Amino acid sequence: MSEITVIALDAMGGDNAPGEMVKGAVDALGREQDIKVYLLGKEDIVNAELQKYTYDKNRLEVVNTTEVIETAEPPVNAIRRKKDSSIVVGMKMVKEGKADAFVSAGSSGAILVGGQVIVGRIKGVERPPLASLIPTEKGVALLIDCGANVDARASHLVQFAKMGSIYMEHVVGIKNPKVGIVNIGAEEEKGNALVKETFPLLKEEKELNFIGSVEAREIPHGQADVIVTEAFSGNVILKLYEGVGAVLISKVKEGLMSTLRSKIGALLIKPALKTTLKSFDASEYGGAPLLGLNGLVVKTHGSSKAKEVSNTLIQCVTFKKQKINEVWFLGDMFSPGPGALEQWKLFKSLEPSVCVRGNWDDLLVNGYKGRLSLEKPSRVFFSRLAEFIGMQLGSAIIDEIEHWPLHQLIDVNNLRFSCAHNLPFHNFGQKLYPTSSQTTFDEVLKDTKADVALYAHVHHPLMRYTTSEQLVINPGRRTFL
């Protein structure tokens, strides 16, 4: 069995809670074995709903919460005051690592505030956006932001574009996704002040496949894979999309059932029509993740039925497998100079899931603990430097660094990554310089059975292959990935 994805589901949020929330959770358990759901809500009410179903009690538990945040409540006050609400408790479960994701159809405002205040933003993210998949002629597109930041700035929209591009490539699987900004015309000089300010900034971002402006009528045709806008326009587009889709599906069904001839025709085309109409059903695409947080928070429609709830829970399994929010640290934490404790606090705030020791980390530990030979002048320098940094950090942090491994193997989907500072069991030396021989690079993956090797020693950007066609990458920067 694969790794279990643990999800906290707000059983009290949404127009159809708790009935549709509970039904969706039970349905998800039947569709996906590698999932466990915590239903958060008033225990007696939730248990009454659960009595209607047969389910695996080892994979579904009720967490009693005594308060409910209503849609009309001021979000900030609600998060502060209702500490035992399903939204606050669910967010804390993600923050504390008790759940991999939190899903709610409840108050959008409370979810946005709670996501930032409780779960917290990834360092450097200015505003977390809501990102929703919408159907197009070519498949799906990501609409970002569709409800979180009405008064966004140009710098926010640039970050939305970057996060959306990463999401579409690593979660949806679209390579080099096309990014467009919502506008009233294709020309660069058109648009409001925000669009005019953002357009040249997006053009300058070389890592983005920016194609320019996208008019609303081109969105259904799939002109862009990532549709960037502020939340006011995004939410209007999303709800118009959903409304038109629902009406279209309804009118098609009505037309097909209007006469005996049309009913016979409907019977003949039913399989193909069912597939086509399914692609325009918003409930098929799950919820909208709040991107840029230190954990996974997903908002589903307030009117969600069991089908959308179930799809959203399954969606969380995909999110976890992609590890898009993880930080991997490949060694060499400290260098000469002050500010070591502040650097450590920043490092811990990133909550890295991979930490391997670099040669500078070993020098720090061994120098601080008096293990370095002082025969060479360089060792005297390292010893004094370790003493200086150690005075800032304290022995507990030094001990934590000492227990980092030299090498870790990480599985992401069908790929295995080998993470080390240098060679898997040797974190110093000059073997992996860019000019080193092919034989040396073959050593990186020799006994690891990995597909990709990540290393950081010499801090020089590099991408090579072993003779067995395994990939070897050095990011060429401070060793965070």
Percentage with pLDDT > 90 across the chain:
51
Rg value, the chain, Cα: 26
3-class DSSP assignment, residue 84: coil
What tokens does 260 get? 């005996």
Per DSSP (E only), the strands in 33-109 are: 35-41, 60-64, 101-104
Q: What average pLDDT is seen over the chain?
A: 88
pTM for this prediction? 0.74
Average pLDDT over residues 305-325: 84
Per residue in 450-466, pLDDT tens?
Answer: 899 999 888 788 888 98
Per residue in 370-407, pLDDT tens?
Answer: 998 888 888 888 899 999 999 999 999 999 999 999 99
d(CA 23, CA 52): 9
d(CA 238, CA 185): 19
pLDDT band at 197 (very low <50, low <70, confident <90, very high): very high
Q: Report the side by side order of strands in the sheet with 462-465.
A: 407-412, 415-420, 452-454, 471-474, 462-465
What tokens does 39 get? 């239903």
